[in-house]
């Protein structure tokens, strides 16, 4: 790092092919990456910018089911949508690949085989939910059941869409397969795990010690937290239909874990791009930078580097400048709830306004914390900054040049102090902007860029060439010429420096000035336009946005919100009417209660769970069987006091492993306000197995 890297490999997170690109993706990943890359290219550096669609995993299969089309159709649809909208938006990937490409399958399988043959995986056989009817293992999302939180009968095994609670399949009441409605059973299945704990010390040194000063605090903190928490083996294969086959014999229906193969997509995309790909991946003088959102930190900072290390030879990321999230009008962006500003829609509804969005999202980039995008802010930022400061400055220079010099660049005369001051300010700008960009401080870089335009406006105002013109053009001609000459040079700088941030605008300025492609080396110079060069007034760079078009956008979002609220009210309200009963949870029907099997059980044995301070392992006589239940009451009851006691057991709760012990039910307790737990039991001894209702 002390010396300049020979080449750069820049990756942007692979967008997942189950929904369109929205402003959150842009602000978090694609805009910063593209700015960085455009800057590097302007610097004349050797850089490759790779990305592609991530097409495997469970959610695309769900999307296919919802839309009633094949999975292939889903990924094809989103892949081409991504490709088009990125291109139109000016995100300049050197290659936009896809993980369904054969070259990716081969690369990912080779990677797996390499680690497998070195014996770096742990094989583990575990119980997984299985659909006996369809004869397949069920991923979390394919298990449906009643949400324990809001009683939504169609909650998925990983999350309830209604109330947003994160779930695991065991939490669902009455779990059933999404395919067949059959009750899933547990079946053993073998999978391959990457023992991340073996890389913990190496990761700690590399990240916590090695990158303490150059990685962003949010990234560093998250990594530290993971490492100190203790890394565990992570399954690199899954029981799935859709994905890349595990390259071992006799393993039908087993695929590579998406988060194993997706980052390898960066490698296969580079392979597809150039036969020289190894130079970018295996030569230590390459600087690898991953642009991602904060949700991807663990995969890019822990898992993928561990994989690369395990394989050997590969370069590791020099930096992973993850951004936080962009909210929309105060609410979290959500694809499934349709709460987003979609790129393809924006491009259609605001034609030729790519830079407006690029500007708003860069100026407000969630670099250190979550940020909020509002249309009102977009509107004022655009009208007051892009139109008022940048566009207006350029326009006034061009118009004055037209008026006073027939649109030809006048020659520079004797410089005054005020001219020199501006020239100096312009000369300093590129280094300032570059330094911010090198540190991934995009907002700051953009602000410095705008400062150049501000300086231009001030220069105009202070020199007021129009006053000199009125006072007498002939006697002031040299001075007016000098002022406009310098102003035009400044406009040229706005094109050069603006290329990373506002590429479309930069292009338009170049056309006006008759500049060819520019490089960063030209930035800061004030001889970019020769005297006599004709300036073409090609019209305003930025037209004001009408309030109506913003109102339309806000209205669109309000409609979505209203529809959602109505839907929620409609599904959960009707019972609660003229009663004055205060419910802490939403009402349920008797049929909901009927699903619950509570019965009295007698404690046969009780012991503390090793290594857990809150858990007791209980053996219960339920009247119908003898079963094990793990309960978090160790702080409230001693094991010996429990033997022989009767307790109430929620008997049909899905089994769940706790501290390695399968718990087959739940003991009911009353929780006092101070957190003290008391067992619920019948007042008199009853027959074990008596039903509570």
Residues 146-205 that bind RNA (CB under 7 A): 148, 168, 170-171
Residue 127 is a binding residue for RNA (CB under 7 A):
no
CB of 257 to RNA, least distance (A): 14
Q: Is 93 helix (H, G, I), strand (E, B) or coil?
A: coil
Count CA atoms closer than 13 A to 238's CA, side-chain side. 18
Neighbour tally for 479: CB within 10 Å: 17
* Residue nearer to RNA on the CB measure, 226 or 339: 226
In this structure, what are the phi and psi dihedrals at residue 629, rounded to the nearest 5 degrees?
A: -130, 135
Structure-derived torsion over alpha carbons of residues 266, 270, 271, 272, reported in degrees to the nearest 10: 100
> Taking contact as CB under 7 A, which single stretch among the options 465-473, 515-523, 552-560, 640-648 is the one that binds RNA?
465-473
* Residue nearer to RNA on the CB measure, 179 or 466: 466
Pick the closest to residue 494 from 465, 466, 457 (CA basis): 457
Residue with tokens 């506002």: 502
Q: Is 80 helix (H, G, I), strand (E, B) or coil?
A: helix
CA 341 – CA 365 distance, rounded (Å): 15
Residue 620 is a binding residue for RNA (CB under 7 A):
no
CA 312 – CA 597 distance, rounded (Å): 54
* Residue nearer to RNA on the CB measure, 351 or 574: 351
Give the interface size with RNA as a residue count (CB under 7 A): 81
Residue partners of 362: CB distance under 8 A and separation at least 6: 27, 31, 32, 35, 442, 443, 446, 501
Residue 380 is a binding residue for RNA (CB under 7 A):
yes
Count CA atoms closer than 13 A to 54's CA, side-chain side. 21
> Taking contact as CB under 7 A, which single stretch among the options 122-130, 261-269, 457-465, 583-591 is the one that binds RNA?
457-465
Residue 399 is a binding residue for RNA (CB under 7 A):
yes
* Residue nearer to RNA on the CB measure, 309 or 458: 458
Beta bridge partners of 176: 144
Residue 302 is a binding residue for RNA (CB under 7 A):
no
Residue from 369, 414, 683, 693 in contact with RNA (CB under 7 A) = 369
Residue 613 is a binding residue for RNA (CB under 7 A):
yes
Residue 323 is a binding residue for RNA (CB under 7 A):
no
Footprint of RNA on 45-84 (CB under 7 A): none
CB of 221 to RNA, least distance (A): 2
CB of 177 to RNA, least distance (A): 20
Residue 329 is a binding residue for RNA (CB under 7 A):
no
Q: Is 563 helix (H, G, I), strand (E, B) or coil?
A: helix
Residue partners of 627: CB distance under 8 A and separation at least 6: 619, 620, 664, 665
Residue 470 is a binding residue for RNA (CB under 7 A):
yes
Residue from 377, 478, 551, 607 in contact with RNA (CB under 7 A) = 377
Helix, strand, coil distribution of the chain in percent, nearest 5: 45, 20, 35
CB of 609 to RNA, least distance (A): 7
Residue 221 is a binding residue for RNA (CB under 7 A):
yes
Residue 678 is a binding residue for RNA (CB under 7 A):
no
* Residue nearer to RNA on the CB measure, 663 or 688: 663
Footprint of RNA on 401-430 (CB under 7 A): 403
SS (H, E, C) 395-419: HHHHHHHHHHHCCECCCCCCCCHHH
Site string for RNA, 655-674 (x = CB under 7 A): -x-xx---x-xxx-------
Residue 499 is a binding residue for RNA (CB under 7 A):
no
CB of 24 to RNA, least distance (A): 11
Degrees, nearest 5: CA angle 524-529-532: 155
CB of 494 to RNA, least distance (A): 13
> Taking contact as CB under 7 A, which single stretch among the options 112-120, 290-298, 580-588, 591-599 is the one that binds RNA?
290-298
Report the run of H or E that residue 425 belongs to, with start and end. Answer: helix 417-438
Residue 597 is a binding residue for RNA (CB under 7 A):
no
Q: How far is CA 279 from the centre of its chain?
A: 28
Residue from 329, 385, 419, 499 in contact with RNA (CB under 7 A) = 385
DSSP string, 607-629: EEPTT-SS-EEEEEE-SS-EEEE
Structure-derived torsion over alpha carbons of residues 93, 99, 102, 107, reported in degrees to the nearest 10: 90
CB of 626 to RNA, least distance (A): 17
* Residue nearer to RNA on the CB measure, 225 or 549: 225
Residue 541 is a binding residue for RNA (CB under 7 A):
yes
Beta bridge partners of 128: 187
Residue from 100, 268, 436, 631 in contact with RNA (CB under 7 A) = 631
> Taking contact as CB under 7 A, which single stretch among the options 55-63, 199-207, 370-378, 472-480 is the one that binds RNA?
370-378
> Taking contact as CB under 7 A, which single stretch among the options 63-71, 382-390, 585-593, 637-645 is the one that binds RNA?
382-390
Site string for RNA, 238-277 (x = CB under 7 A): ----------------------------------------
Residue 362 is a binding residue for RNA (CB under 7 A):
no
Residue 366 is a binding residue for RNA (CB under 7 A):
yes
b/e map 337-374, b = 16+ CB within 10 Å = eebbbbbbebbeebeebbbbbbbbbbbbbbbeeebebb
CA 447 – CA 359 distance, rounded (Å): 10
Residue 371 is a binding residue for RNA (CB under 7 A):
yes
Residue 632 is a binding residue for RNA (CB under 7 A):
yes
Pick the closest to residue 133 from 189, 177, 174, 188 (CA basis): 177
Residue 324 is a binding residue for RNA (CB under 7 A):
yes
Residue 134 is a binding residue for RNA (CB under 7 A):
no
Residue from 73, 228, 428, 566 in contact with RNA (CB under 7 A) = 228
């Amino acid at each position: 790092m002390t010396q300049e890297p020979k080449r750069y490999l820049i990756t942007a997170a692979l967008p997942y092919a189950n929904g369109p690109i929205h402003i959150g993706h842009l602000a978090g990943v694609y805009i910063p990456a593209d700015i960085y890359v455009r800057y590097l290219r302007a610097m004349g550096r050797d850089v490759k910018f790779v990305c592609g669609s991530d097409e495997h995993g469970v959610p695309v299969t769900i999307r296919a089911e919802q839309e009633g089309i094949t999975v292939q159709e889903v990924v094809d649809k989103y892949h081409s949508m991504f490709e088009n909208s990125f291109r139109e938006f000016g995100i300049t990937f050197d290659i936009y690949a896809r993980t369904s490409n054969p070259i990716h399958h081969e690369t990912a399988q080779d990677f797996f085989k390499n680690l497998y043959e070195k014996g770096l995986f742990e094989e583990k056989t575990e119980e997984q939910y299985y659909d006996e009817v369809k004869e397949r293992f069920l991923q979390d999302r394919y298990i449906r059941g009643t949400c324990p939180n809001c009683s939504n009968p169609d909650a998925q095994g990983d999350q309830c869409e209604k109330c947003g609670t994160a779930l695991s399949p065991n939490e669902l009441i009455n779990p059933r397969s999404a395919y067949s409605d059959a009750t899933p059973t547990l079946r053993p299945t073998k999978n391959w795990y990457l023992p991340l704990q073996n890389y913990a010390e190496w990761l700690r040194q590399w990240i916590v010690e090695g990158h303490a000063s150059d990685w962003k605090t949010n990234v560093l903190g998250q990594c530290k937290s993971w490492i100190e928490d203790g890394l565990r083996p992570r399954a690199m294969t899954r029981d799935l239909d859709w994905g890349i086959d595990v390259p071992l014999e006799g393993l039908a229906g087993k695929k590579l874990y998406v988060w194993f193969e997706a980052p390898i997509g960066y490698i296969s995309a580079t392979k597809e791009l150039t036969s020289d790909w190894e130079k970018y991946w295996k030569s230590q003088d390459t600087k690898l930078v991953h642009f991602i959102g904060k949700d991807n930190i663990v995969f890019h900072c822990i898992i993928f580097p561990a994989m690369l290390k395990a394989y050997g030879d590969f370069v590791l990321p020099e930096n992973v400048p993850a951004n936080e999230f962009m909210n929309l009008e105060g609410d979290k962006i959500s694809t499934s709830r349709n709460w987003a500003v979609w790129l393809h829609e924006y491009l259609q509804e605001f034609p030729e306004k790519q830079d407006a969005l690029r500007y708003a999202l860069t100026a407000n980039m969630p670099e250190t914390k979550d940020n909020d995008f509002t249309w009102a802010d977009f509107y004022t930022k655009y009208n007051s900054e892009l139109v008022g400061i940048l566009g207006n400055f350029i326009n006034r220079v061009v118009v004055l040049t037209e008026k006073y010099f027939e649109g030809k660049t006048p020659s520079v005369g004797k410089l005054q102090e005020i001219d020199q001051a501006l020239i100096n300010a312009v000369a300093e700008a590129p280094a300032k902007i570059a330094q911010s960009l090198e540190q991934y401080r995009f907002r700051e870089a953009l602000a410095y860029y705008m400062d150049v335009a501000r300086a231009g406006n001030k220069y105009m105002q202070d020199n007021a060439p129009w006053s000199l013109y009125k006072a007498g053009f002939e006697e002031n001609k040299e001075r007016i010429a000098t002022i406009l000459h310098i102003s035009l040079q400044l406009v040229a700088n706005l094109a050069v420096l603006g290329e990373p941030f506002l590429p479309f605008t930069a292009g338009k300025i170049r056309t006006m000035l008759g500049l060819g492609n520019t490089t960063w080396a030209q930035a800061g110079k004030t001889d970019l336009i020769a005297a006599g060069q004709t300036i073409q007034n090609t019209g305003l760079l930025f037209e004001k946005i009408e309030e109506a078009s913003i109102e339309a956008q806000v209205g669109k979002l309000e409609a979505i919100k209203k529809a959602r609220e109505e839907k929620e009210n409609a599904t959960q309200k009707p019972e609660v009417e003229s009663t004055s009963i205060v419910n802490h949870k939403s009402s349920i029907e008797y049929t909901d209660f009927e699903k619950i099997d509570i019965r009295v059980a007698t404690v046969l044995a009780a012991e503390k769970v090793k290594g857990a301070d809150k858990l007791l392992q209980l053996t219960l006589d339920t009247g119908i069987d003898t079963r094990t239940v793990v309960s978090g009451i160790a702080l409230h009851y001693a094991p010996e006091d429990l033997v022989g006691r009767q307790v109430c057991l929620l008997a049909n709760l899905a089994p769940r492993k706790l501290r390695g012990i399968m718990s087959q039910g739940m003991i009911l307790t009353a929780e006092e306000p101070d957190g003290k737990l008391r067992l619920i039991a019948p007042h008199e001894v009853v027959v074990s197995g008596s039903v509570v209702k």
